Structure 1
Amino acid sequence: MTSDTKQTESRALRELVSRAQVVLWDFDGPVCRLFAGHSAERVAHGLLDWLGEQGLHGLLSEAEREPLDPHALLRAVDRRRPRSDLVTELEERLTQEELKAAASAMPTPYADPLIRTWTAVGARLAVTSNNSPAVVRAYLQGRGLLPCFAPHLYGRTAELRHLKPHPHCLQRALNAMGAAPASALMIGDTPTDLRAAERAGVPFLGYAGTPRKGRILAEAGAPMIVHSLDTLLTALRPA
């Protein structure tokens, strides 16, 4: 990458950041590694085992079982049995696993100072997540970051069809904060975050903590990607 290209990208990032009056954060990834000490794959296996104990081993196809993503499993079961007691129980089991994970979650490098700095310069922050809002609240409370976000924590609801890539949680945040989509910025680390932002009309910034995440976001069409939140801290500082 040439020096001119780096300068152009730096200017574009500064412009994106400076325009953001409201910042909508995905939680697991940009704010913390929720399953750092509590494997998401193990949680997914546990949910699948529980379905098997209910005599529902064949409820999901092999393709639906394959990703070992707890949220993907929850969505798949909801498609089969929408608004059922089965879905309610499965969602509660996932919430309990997420709460356990929150106790050992690792903050994303530079996330805490970035959150505090962005708040200090006048931006309003919200969480827009597929995780349980109770989990988000517990983690932020433990880090002393809750005042930077509260009361704007928008997570999973009983309407699982509203999980991202549906823009529902972003729209809830914008409506509650009285913010126009163009005045906001979504920070996310998955294509589902990108699609939700696109559908809500909110500018998107991809966070890729690993080269693989970066490739996935680039292939999904993310217009701008940072590989460290330190880059955003730099962009917030006066030029």
Structure 2
Amino acid sequence: MKVIYEDNHIIAINKACGEVVQSDKTGDETVMDKVKEFLKVKYNKPGNVYLGLPHRLDRPTSGLLILAKTSKVLPRLNKLFQSKGAVHKTYWAVVDKRPPKYTDTLEHYLIKNQERNRSYAYNEPKEDAKFASLTYRHVASIDRYHLLEIELHTGRHHQIRVQLRQIKLHIKGDLKYGFPRSNKDKGIHLHARKIEFVHPVKKEPLTIIADPPKDPVWDEFLKMFHAGKFSPVNPV
């Protein structure tokens, strides 16, 4: 966990793979616990530290997580994250094959199986299914892997993982959705790279960016990004 941005109202952290955001059956220390302790020490707070959670990240996923530092700002952040188009989220995903198109918008209907903690995607509406939409863009390739930049239009359970599987792409390390091997850190190569929204108090545009974890594959793609070797947004 690394703090990327902080003001009087919100704090943004770069969550590591494997860190759990909220308490679960494992009983492992949570991101919420770690951030509360960070704030308690930084500001020498004697009592309990308030922290609100307007959105979540899966345990094996790394990247940006926005948290509310006050009870007044949490409802505003909740409203932002629940309002269509108010928050723009960009993810990076490392997959095992080049996608069928350079860029495409995927639309499916997802059903979550609570017992198995996984979602299933369908091309047509079904009872209890939730509409899911994302746009991917193929931005770079190395020997065995390909990097997609993904813009989420909806926020569904395991959405990116299951929608990519529908077009026969598997995220590196993601055993649950079809990749053959796990990563050493038990995480997956899915990273919440960027979040853009209007600050709920300051009313100013805010863009926060987080680099992916240190890892040979991520490092290679990050070098390409800094060298300007990503594919252009609108290729000729």
Structure 2 length-normalised TM:
0.27
Between Structure 1 and Structure 2, the one with more strand by share is 2
Instruction: Give the TM-score of the pair, scaled to structure 1.
Output: 0.26
Of Structure 1 and Structure 2, the greater helix share is in 1
